[in-house]
Structure formats: C-alpha cells, structure tokens
C-alpha cells in the first residue's frame, strides 16, 4: 500500500474512532457540582465550577500542592470530553498502519510527524491504547472497558496509565482508573473517578466524586 493510501486508510479509521467517543457539543457552557475528594488519609468536601478545561474554580480547602494536582486531574478528565474537531487534533498529522492487523490489542496507527512519537491502537471501532514520548518519559494509556451509551457513543470506564523512564529503562508508576458518568439534562457529566496509584512509595488511592450537578 502506498504512503498516500495508508495515510488515508489510517485517518478514516482514527476519525471514525474519534467520532464515536462521546464529547460535549461546541456550545456546551460547563457545569457546577458538589465535590468530595477522598484519599488514604483524608476526605474533603466543597464545590467546583467548570466552564472549560482551562476555566475551573475549585473551592475545597486542603494543601495548595494537593489542590493543584487535583485541579490538573479534573482538567484532564474534562479535556477528553470537551468539543474537539478531529481536524484540529490528530487530523493534522501523517499516519500509517502497522502491517500486523491481527494484533490481539487491535490495529496500530503510527504518527509520522507529531512531536511525541505517538501511536494508537484501534479495536472494535474505539481507541483502546495511546502511546507517547515526552522528554525521557514514555507513557501508555490502555482502555480496558468502555461504557456504551445512545447513538453508538462510548465513554472510557476502566483504563490504566503506565509511565517509563526511558533513560533508566524502568517502570516508574502505574495508575488504574475507574470512571463513572451520570446523565444530566441530556449531557453525560462526570460522577466519579477512582485512581489507584502504584509506584516506589507503595499503593495509594484517590477518589473524586461529583454530585448535585447544575448546568452553567
């Protein structure tokens, strides 16, 4: 298959997977919710207002560093649901298909010119794996389970993120995620995210719970 043909085929496959993933419409204005954050050591309650992944007001109390990390986690959660046209993201790059189309984890799509040496796997019409290199850190996101909703859309339910130090050639950290969503006035809003982190310090658990949602 020529480079042009494989690029076209890869984009067709990846755009179909992009379109299948549930996202909010372009005019979505955000939401407010009560928030509870639990770790192995503490439980905090407060409120959150989200107008976009970049515009989040968190009123929870707690240590500054911990709250910044929590806000980054919520921003990441929201960024994957916010409106994002394919042409402005992965559609910008040159793609190719790996020759092994029968891999047990799905078809591998290779990015030829993005800055992170990315590759994705597509299985059953959905993205199930994302690989990227950022400096000396290589990470893999693997989605084990999706939630299926109306209009053949999907939301990630169970996924794992593993981080490697490519200089030291060692696994640094693995985080196991479980996400739940709830329908509110026609939108699927986050209900909870549980993170179980495995690293050199041991095992730790973090749970973010949203309730009493109100659309902005």
Q: What percent of the chain has pLDDT over 90?
A: 94
Contacts of 7 (CB under 8 A, 6+ apart): 94, 95, 96
Average pLDDT score over residue span 92-116: 95
Average pLDDT score over residue span 29-39: 98
Contacts of 57 (CB under 8 A, 6+ apart): 48, 49, 50
Contacts of 49 (CB under 8 A, 6+ apart): 30, 31, 32, 56, 57, 216
pLDDT at position 3 is 64
Cα–Cα distance list, 145 to 21, 111, 114 (Å): 13, 24, 27
Res. 62 pLDDT band, cuts 50 70 90: confident
Q: Which tokens go with 63? A: 């240590």
Res. 1 pLDDT band, cuts 50 70 90: low
Q: 43-68 burial, b if ≥16 CB within 10 A, otherwise e?
A: ebeeebbbeebeebebebeeeeeebe
Using DSSP's 3-state secondary structure scheme, residue 83 falls into coil
Residues 23, 89: Cα–Cα separation, whole Å: 14
């Amino acid at each position: 298959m020529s480079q042009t043909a494989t690029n076209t085929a890869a984009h067709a496959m990846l755009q179909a997977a992009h379109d299948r993933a549930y996202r909010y419409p372009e005019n979505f204005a955000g939401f407010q919710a009560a928030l509870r954050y639990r770790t192995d050591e503490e439980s905090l309650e407060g409120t959150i207002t989200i107008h976009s992944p970049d515009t989040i007001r968190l009123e929870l109390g707690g240590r500054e560093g911990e709250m910044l990390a929590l806000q980054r986690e919520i921003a990441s959660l929201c960024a994957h649901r916010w409106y994002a046209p394919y042409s402005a993201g992965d559609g910008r790059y040159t793609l190719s298909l790996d020759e092994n189309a029968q891999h047990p984890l799905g078809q591998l799509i290779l990015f030829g010119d993005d800055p992170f040496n990315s590759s994705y796997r597509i299985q059953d019409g959905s993205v199930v794996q994302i690989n990227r290199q950022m400096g000396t850190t290589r990470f893999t996101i693997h989605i084990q389970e999706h939630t299926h909703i109306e209009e053949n859309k999907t939301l990630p339910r169970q996924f794992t993120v593993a981080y490697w130090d490519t200089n030291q050639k060692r696994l640094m950290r693995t985080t196991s995620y479980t996400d739940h969503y709830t329908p509110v006035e026609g939108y699927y809003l986050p209900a909870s995210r549980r993170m179980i982190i495995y690293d050199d310090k041991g095992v730790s658990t973090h749970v973010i719970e949203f309730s009493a949602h109100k659309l902005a």
